[in-house]
Amino acid sequence: MSSIADNIGSVTRRIQKATLQAGREPNSVSLLAVSKTRSADELREAVAAGQLAFGENYLQEALDKIAALADLADIEWHFIGPIQSNKTRQIASAFSWVHSVDRLKVARRLSEQRETGLPPLNICLQVNINNEESKSGCQPDELPELVSEIGQLPGLNLRGLMAIPDPEQGESDLRASFRSLANTLKKLRQEYPEAGPLDTLSMGMSGDLEMAVAEGATWVRIGTAVFGARAYKS
């Protein structure tokens, strides 16, 4: 069975190959290891292999791991799960990135609750790119107002967009979803240059990272290919 270190090496090579094939700059795509349900010891193994960015979906589980790994100062914590309004204070304090902001109320709370001694909180807006009822995320037509408003909030650095396309789509439709998100970000960057860098596309997972990189992903969120299949309780 492959070790976490072996898996990270394999995923990194996939990212590098996809980046080269897409004609993009080396190191323009970063690996976000999705570590929900994984133990602190597994994360330590990943850190020892050079992986420092981790994506967490569940706040309390994440806070427990952040505390357990507090001796590892270089870890960068990303919150990628749905955000409840009553959890924003802890998210604003504990994370460097939040990929899953989908409404102005949440962004305002994160802005108000980000401690002044911390760097600005990097924000991505989650887009429900395929209009799925079961998925979180704003609608694409809501983005101009959100970008305009959130770009003015103190304590936040509006970096870009995140999406989780419908995995049941065929390959051509999935590629079209990635391309649509990339084109949307490009348009927003042109129309709202004062809103923030708008330089980030968080998209692509273990099964489709090559396609996401080809269409412009800058973060790929990889869980299974890094940590192996999850063992679910019966």
Quick: pLDDT tens for 32-54.
Answer: 999 999 999 999 999 999 999 99
Q: Is residue 234 situated within a structural domain?
A: no
Q: Is residue 81 situated within a structural domain?
A: yes
Which segments of 88-230 does DSSP mark as H helices, in order? 88-94, 104-113, 143-150, 171-191, 209-214, 224-227
| Helices (runs of H) and strands (runs of E) counted in the chain | 9, 8
Average pLDDT score over residue span 178-184: 97
Residues 69-94 have pLDDT tens digits of 999 989 999 999 999 999 999 999 99
Q: Measuring CA to CA, which residue among 209, 182, 225 is closest to residue 21?
A: 209
Q: Is residue 222 situated within a structural domain?
A: yes
Check which CATH number belongs to the domain holding 180 and give it.
3.20.20.10
pLDDT band at 234 (very low <50, low <70, confident <90, very high): very low
**Residue keyed to tokens 């970000």:** 185
Domain boundaries, position 222: 4-227
Q: Is residue 233 situated within a structural domain?
A: no
Q: Is residue 15 situated within a structural domain?
A: yes
Q: Is residue 172 situated within a structural domain?
A: yes
Average pLDDT score over residue span 46-72: 98
Q: Is residue 173 situated within a structural domain?
A: yes
Residues 51 and 54: their CA atoms lie apart, in Å, by: 8
Q: Give the pLDDT score at 37.
A: 96
**What is the number of structural domains in the chain?**
1
CA quadruple 130, 133, 137, 140: dihedral sign: positive
Q: Give the pLDDT score at 14.
A: 98
pTM over 0.75: yes
